[in-house]
Chain A
Amino acid sequence: MIENRPGLNLLAHLTLILGVCIVALPVWVAFVASTHGPTDFMSGTIPMWPGPHLVENYSRMLGGGLSTSGTPPVGTMMLNSLIMALSIAVGKIAISVLSAFAVVYFRFPLRGLAFWCIFVTLMLPVEVRIVPTFQVVADLGMLNSYAGLSIPLIASATATFLFRQVFLTIPDELTEAARIDGAGPMKFFRDILLPLSRTNIAALFVILFIYGWNQYLWPLLITTSSDYYTIVAGIKRMADAVDGLPQWHLVMATAMLAMIPPVVVVIGMQRLFVKGLVETEK
């Protein structure tokens, strides 16, 4: 702060409090709705304060789900989401760390072409080539499987670039020392490169976990069996399926459950999250 202006400070606090409230409003409304019974929505506007049905609604959704909409229990969908998010995060990190190692520490013919192939994936988000990608996955028999949910999404130029950047800052002296001591490339990779990029891996993991958990279109298309529904894609089916009026208290309980894991990750690992966000955009 440059100078003391109590008036401006007050204004800044008021702006922020208002901002925080606006940002929190939809979640508060969802939370309140998820604690009421079905009859509370019949009479005009939704209530603004929590009701008494919190435990009842959440345990019903986690264990039983909405039978009328053909979705499995929310617990199952959350487990599917978790498997998908973890596979995508671990898979992306694993293949990018290996390919970045190859690109930085080796010179081989067609190295430029390989790099270019990876770079191109930046320009092909799954949404823009959705029909042919779906076709490929269907032809490979990967519909309704965890492999189909995660593998097509794990190629990532961003993660490869990030690790390339990290490896380029690691001093050459370390590589020389390792070679003089007789370490081969894989030993160098395992004992020096990986430990040195630990925080980058953790930061990237936070971002990729959220990315994987929040996938919507892909799981919606390739899961036709309810055993593989993920929670984010499942909510839509829930809000749709009930003819006329959706059972808002249960839909909102599901929305809360869909939000809790990634939000907890962001708040609990805020420093890693910010680091990951800033690094992946460089």
Chain B
Amino acid sequence: MKRTLFRNQLLPWLLLAPQLIITFVFFLWPAAQAVRQSFLREDAFGTRTSFVGFDNFKALWSSAEYMNSLQVTAVFAISVTVLSMGLSLLLAIAVDRMIKSARVYSTLLVWPYAVAPAVAGILWWFIFNPTIGIMPYVLSQLGYNWNHISDKGDAMTLVVIASAWKQISYNFLFFLAGLQAIPASLREAAAIDGAGPVRRFFDITFPLLSPTTFFLLVVNIVYAMFDTFGVIDATTEGGPAQATNILVYKVYFDGFVGQNLGSSAAQSVVLMMLVLVLTVIQFRYVEKKVEY
């Protein structure tokens, strides 16, 4: 906290005004609307709205489609997180061994961060295109008939790969920073005691890396749940047969395409609570990190 302060009373409000006005108009007000809307139901013609209590939420809970979407989101988020973090950790460990070439490799690995999720989706959609793509051709040589337009598993694999690919650079940078923060003396001591590289990794490196790993776990789950809208919309649009219809996509689809405002608002409220939980987890972790 600052000891020296300025004494004006009006000035701070003027300085805060732009941020507060935008926050109120575009964040708090719409969020309040979503909460209000989630307790209302419009009739078929949109002329009358009535208060229905928790009916919209109850309807979600008993909707097979929503339960499917929850499950799809969980599978999707876990797959993206595991795939992307696994590959990035491997690459970060390899770069950590390098002395001269570390910078060159880093540069070659960080740029996908800059690619928009929607563009990443289009790129992989093209590679996996059943008629002209390379991957289906390679897979057919191996005896697998790839078709993400009709096969649920293939569609999920495609969106997972596209989303994980984009996130590799982010995870790589944080893992590399985490690895480089581990004192070399610890690993040297273990080496002198006769521990081989594998043993050193599991007994020293990996435990000391756990704050980074935990932080990335939360960030990746948030990414997979909320930032992958572009990937889904540019490729599968939730299909085939709801196989890739993750929660954020469903909110948009039910609200704008399906025009089911009450249900979409209830879904918004559920999602906001999810973000709230994830943010709290992230912040508690950050507080701990400060104490280290």
Contacts and interface: CB of A to CB of B under 8 A. Distances in A.
Interface of A: 1-3, 5, 8-9, 12-13, 15-16, 19-20, 23-27, 29-30, 33, 41, 44-46, 48, 94-96, 98-99, 101-108, 111, 114, 117-118, 120-125, 127-137, 140, 151-152, 154-155, 160, 168, 172, 175-176, 179, 184-186, 188, 210, 213-214, 216-217, 220-221, 232-233, 235-236, 239, 248, 251-252, 255, 258-259, 262-263, 265-267, 270, 273-274, 277-278, 281-282
A258 B200 CA distance: 43
Contact of B16 (A1, A114, A248, A262): A114
Interface string B204-237: 0000000000010001000000110110011000
A50 B91 CA distance: 29
B11 to A, nearest CB: 6
Contact of A2 (B90, B169, B188): B188
Interface in B94-136: 94-95, 97-99, 101, 105-120, 122-127, 132-134
Interface of B: 1-6, 8-9, 11-13, 15-16, 18-20, 22-31, 33-34, 37, 87, 90-91, 93-95, 97-99, 101, 105-120, 122-127, 132-134, 137, 165, 168-170, 173-174, 177, 184, 187-188, 191, 197, 200, 215, 219, 226-227, 229-230, 233-234, 248, 251-252, 255-256, 261, 264-265, 268, 271-272, 275-276, 279, 286
Contact of A117 (B8, B11, B24, B177): B24
18 contacts: A3-B191, A12-B93, A13-B101, A23-B169, A45-B134, A45-B137, A46-B126, A99-B20, A117-B24, A125-B275, A131-B252, A133-B30, A135-B30, A216-B116, A236-B233, A248-B126, A267-B110, A281-B215
A128 B108 contact: no
Q: Which 7 pairs across A and B sit closest by C-beta, in order of nearness? A: A214-B116, A262-B114, A132-B30, A132-B33, A102-B15, A26-B123, A131-B255
Nearest to A137: B26
B123 A129 contact: no
Given A12-B97, A124-B275, A154-B22, A266 B170 contact: no
A266 B5 CA distance: 38
Contacts of B134: 29, 45-46, 48
Nearest to A184: B6
A15 B91 contact: yes
Residue from A123, A172, A210 having most chain B Cβ neighbours under 10 A = A123
Contacts of A282: 286
B229 A127 contact: yes
Given A106-B5, A267-B110, A281-B219, 5 more contacts: A19-B90, A23-B108, A106-B8, A232-B119, A236-B233
Contact of A131 (B2, B101, B184, B268): B268
B118 A99 contact: no
A259 B229 contact: no
